[in-house]
Amino acid sequence: MFQVQRSPEVHDVVVIGSGAGGGTTVKVLTDLGINVTLLEAGPMLDPMKDFKEHVWPWEVNHRGSGPNAESYFGKQQWSYWNAPNGYWDVPGEPYSIAEDSEFRWFRSRILGGRTNHYGRISLRFADYDFKPQAFDGLGFDWPVTYEEMSPWYDKAEGFMGVTGTHEGFRSAPDGNFLPPVPPRVHEMLVQRAGKKLNIPVIPSRMAMLTKGINGRLPCHYCGQCGRGCHTASAFTSSQAMIFPAMKTGKLKIITGAMARELLVNDEGLIRGVSYIDKATRSEKQIRARAVVVAASACESARLLLNSKSTKYPNGVANGSGVVGRYLTDTVGYSLGGNIPALENMPRHNCDGIGGMHVYVPWWELDKKNKAFPRGYHIEIGGGFGMPQLGSFRGAASQAGYGAAIKERARQQYGTNINFAGRGEMIPNENSYCEIDNTKVDQWGIPVLKFHWKWQDYEIKMVQHMHDTFTSLIETMGGRVANRGFNPEAAISKGGQIIHEAGTVRMGDDPKKSALNKYSQAHEVKNLVVADAAPFNGNPDKNVTLTIVANAWRAAEHLAEEMKKGNV
């Protein structure tokens, strides 16, 4: 007979989730001498075993297709080579999608969460991003300003290590940067094209170490950050924050722990956490003085909504009813092209850091009469990458068969370029998640149901992206790989860019928001949410750096409140 196992020990702070937000919370609180217990739904990470850095394709007999040829049948969850346990479909953990909606939900189940899987692009939100409503009347103002956030960005960048240069763009505030990485050849061509078109192309801002900091070695420029970095030169919360915190003796990690419910006492405070111990499939309860939820925007909303009680019938911290609402993701659109100038270029190693060395910040902020509000940045791909399954199928198909295949492949290698637009979505009433009361996951926990709708703003932005990328490619003398363009079909699906935010938003008014300006629940002062759920908007700047900065600020505030005896 299974019984709920209740531990009498009262933990100082229980942190749920070990990604950017959870990792930051763990680091900050343990540095301040507070005992932290970390719940992670996945297993422990062992970089030496789990990261496939530097492995050649032929060193595994399936060469990267997956052990059962998954990639050949579209069944691969995430590239075989990339850091493990990232899923578009977590086995046994389904979710529902409303009719007429499309949504994809990427989840990581491993220590470090999605910091193992992300692109490490690290962009500050701008002043107007925190006050969008004041800026142009759309969206929701944050209860904090850029000036308040700036010192926390300094800390976050200083600790993570972010490349960059001082450029003075209002849309892309400068930060506390490590030296940039010189551009690759195709990136120099993009810079020239940008100059002609008045589009700025500046050094990218990426969380890779061009200098060793905090005991982490400098980058060795193998370009394989996505596989996971053995030397921790590419930022992950696991390697940079959690492993060092383990050495302090202040951190206890419980892996394979799927948080099920936050438990509330008679005063309406959190008294503990109920979680499923996956190994035994049994429920366990631990007691806590305070809880920091950082399970990812939608998982955090799910946990709050599933924490129903007499005191909180709509879920904990949800008296306002906003939990799950105003779900946003980034607007995504990509266009590739082929640049003849690069054909048969002298071969050289251009691995560099994983991802782009230069990027385009939003450059039309001051333009009048735009077809859409806000803006997007442009990410650039290209170069002589390590050949992989699929790299030369196109060349082969053009060449037919015989020696012509090799000739065509040699000529085309390194000539493809890709532009990816990453733009701001305006929060709307029709994009949200809620509990699907008819379905549970394999742990018995009710699942989420997603509702999604892009607005005309986003569709028009995708048209602008397409036109811009086309002129960049053509200005480089290239040919667009165009298979017909329709912005409504070409826009990414909700969730696909993996920048979900906004589901437990902060604000000054408890009737319209769940959290205060320190990401502390209005109704429950010993509850903090520390991922992208508190975000009031989702600018064209990837969420991770702001998750770290905001979580850092929230953790220090929580520590102060605990010290004062308020929590």
Side chain identity at 5, as an amino acid letter? Q
User: Is residue 477 a contact residue for other proteins (CB under 8 A)?
Assistant: yes
Side chain identity at 80, as an amino acid letter? Y
- Find, among 492, 434, 425, 432, the residue nearest to 455 by Cα: 425
Structure tokens at 218: 């400098």
User: Is residue 387 a contact residue for other proteins (CB under 8 A)?
Assistant: yes
- Shortest Cβ distance from residue 229 to other proteins (Å)? 9
User: Is residue 243 a contact residue for other proteins (CB under 8 A)?
Assistant: yes
Using the rule CB under 8 A, which residue among 223, 315, 361, 427 binds other proteins?
223
Q: Is the dihedral of CA 285, 291, 297, 303 positive or negative?
A: positive
User: Is residue 235 a contact residue for other proteins (CB under 8 A)?
Assistant: no
- Give the other-Cβ count within 10 Å of 82's Cβ: 17
Using the rule CB under 8 A, which residue among 55, 213, 459, 481 binds other proteins?
55
Near other proteins by CB under 8 A, which window of 238-246, 283-291, 307-315, 526-534? Answer: 238-246
DSSP 241: I
Spell out the residues 6+ positions from residue 399 whose beta carbon is closer than 8 angstroms to its own: 405, 407, 408, 409
Residues 9-48 that bind other proteins (CB under 8 A): 44, 46-48
- Find, among 208, 508, 525, 192, the residue nearest to 355 by Cα: 208
Using the rule CB under 8 A, which residue among 21, 22, 23, 64 binds other proteins?
64
User: Is residue 137 a contact residue for other proteins (CB under 8 A)?
Assistant: no
Residue with the two structure tokens 């990453």: 422
Using the rule CB under 8 A, which residue among 67, 137, 168, 565 binds other proteins?
67
Structure tokens at 546: 């702001």
User: Is residue 442 a contact residue for other proteins (CB under 8 A)?
Assistant: no
DSSP 45: P
Q: Is the dihedral of CA 484, 487, 488, 492 positive or negative?
A: positive
Using the rule CB under 8 A, which residue among 181, 273, 490, 555 binds other proteins?
181
DSSP 428: -
User: Is residue 279 a contact residue for other proteins (CB under 8 A)?
Assistant: no
User: Is residue 165 a contact residue for other proteins (CB under 8 A)?
Assistant: no
Spell out the residues 6+ positions from residue 438 whose beta carbon is closer than 8 angstroms to its own: none
- Shortest Cβ distance from residue 357 to other proteins (Å)? 8
- Shortest Cβ distance from residue 16 to other proteins (Å)? 19
Cα(291)–Cα(46) distance, rounded to whole angstroms?
26
46/456 with CB nearer other proteins: 46
Using the rule CB under 8 A, which residue among 91, 313, 400, 484 binds other proteins?
400
Cα(325)–Cα(428) distance, rounded to whole angstroms?
9
Mask of contacts with other proteins, 246-265, x by CB under 8 A?
xx-----x------------
Using the rule CB under 8 A, which residue among 388, 418, 442, 455 binds other proteins?
388
Cα(257)–Cα(378) distance, rounded to whole angstroms?
38
29/395 with CB nearer other proteins: 395
User: Is residue 341 a contact residue for other proteins (CB under 8 A)?
Assistant: yes
User: Is residue 391 a contact residue for other proteins (CB under 8 A)?
Assistant: yes
Structure tokens at 244: 């060092």
For residue 132, the Cα-to-chain-centroid distance in whole angstroms is: 21
- Shortest Cβ distance from residue 399 to other proteins (Å)? 9
- Shortest Cβ distance from residue 221 to other proteins (Å)? 4
96/231 with CB nearer other proteins: 231
- 539, exposed or middle or buried, with CB in 10 Å at 0-12, 13-18, 19+? buried
For residue 287, the Cα-to-chain-centroid distance in whole angstroms is: 30
- Shortest Cβ distance from residue 183 to other proteins (Å)? 8
User: Is residue 82 a contact residue for other proteins (CB under 8 A)?
Assistant: no
173/223 with CB nearer other proteins: 223
Cα(520)–Cα(181) distance, rounded to whole angstroms?
38
Near other proteins by CB under 8 A, which window of 185-193, 283-291, 444-452, 528-536? Answer: 185-193
User: Is residue 234 a contact residue for other proteins (CB under 8 A)?
Assistant: no
User: Is residue 57 a contact residue for other proteins (CB under 8 A)?
Assistant: yes
User: Is residue 392 a contact residue for other proteins (CB under 8 A)?
Assistant: yes
Radius of gyration of the chain (CA): 23
In Å, what is the CA distance from 544 to each residue of 207, 234, 298, 464, 539?
10, 14, 15, 26, 12
137/402 with CB nearer other proteins: 402
User: Is residue 413 a contact residue for other proteins (CB under 8 A)?
Assistant: yes
Using the rule CB under 8 A, which residue among 25, 26, 27, 53 binds other proteins?
53
